[in-house]
A and B are shown apart, each in its own frame.
Chain A
Amino acid sequence: GAVVSQHPSWVICKSGTSVKIECRSLDFQATTMFWYRQFPKQSLMLMATSNEGSKATYEQGVEKDKFLINHASLTLSTLTVTSAHPEDSSFYICSASRDGDYNEQFFGPGTRLTVL
């Protein structure tokens, strides 16, 4: 159990376009989902925390108007990179947490975004 999927696995887009990434918890309800960005050979950097039905909480330095997060249901969160630029190219990973004493996070397989 505790499987998280992401779609698409990779995407290549032109500068100025918007890209939507979906994160789904397949076999559990995720009250909280997290979005991370990871540059090559670096650590995972938390971008934002989203709770179902409420606005996402963004980390310092993350532009909320550029990275739109929607957590429409207990199994789906989406990240939209608006007006993407080459510097937004990165590996975007979501994780989902289910209620419980441990609140462990289960990670999706990631989406590699390349902006030309």
Chain B
Amino acid sequence: QQPVQSPQAVILREGEDAVINCSSSKALYSVHWYRQKHGEAPVFLMILLKGGEQKGHDKISASFNEKKQQSSLYLTASQLSYSGTYFCGTVLGSSNTGKLIFGQGTTLQVKP
């Protein structure tokens, strides 16, 4: 049931772009994206609901393909502060149970 994230790790230079993917084998109600820095709590980035609704921060964009049960997070013009581990969390099924199942994480390192 755990969604699969790819790639596992990414190294970028400042200003470069990255895409992180999240794929589930089960039907999804929603996908949530978080960034976590070492020793800290995850920080909310974006939520995407089936049906097209989204909510998130201005500089973050993501897509949700309900048919393929996949979501992608787009990081453009990366900054040093983007470094961290990105997790997607999925809510399975047809209703909002609120229960998040997290992927294994994607580590992003942005270098000057």
Residue from B41, B49, B103, B104 within 8 A of A93 (CB atoms): B41
* Total number of B residues with any Cβ neighbor in A under 8 Å: 25
Does A70 sit within 8 A of B, measured CB to CB?
Answer: no
* Total number of A residues with any Cβ neighbor in B under 8 Å: 22
- Given that A102-B47, A102-B55, A104-B32 are contacting pairs, would A46 and B100 also be in contact in the complex, using a CB cutoff of 8 Å? yes
0/1 string, B87-112, CB within 8 A of A gives 1? 10100000010111111110000000
Inter-subunit contact B98/A97 (CB<8 Å)? yes
Task: Return chain B residues, CB-CB under 8 Å to A112.
Answer: 39
Using CB atoms, name the residue of chain A closest to B29.
A103
Distance between Cα atoms of A109 and B43 in the complex (Å) = 10
Task: Return chain A residues, CB-CB under 8 Å to B42.
Answer: 44, 93, 107
Task: Return chain B residues, CB-CB under 8 Å to A34.
Answer: 98-100
Q: Is the interface of A mostly helix, strand, loop or mixed?
A: strand
Using CB atoms, name the residue of chain A closest to B103.
A43
Q: Give B contacts to A, CB under 8 Å.
A: 2, 30, 32, 34, 39-44, 47, 49, 53, 55, 87, 89, 96, 98-105
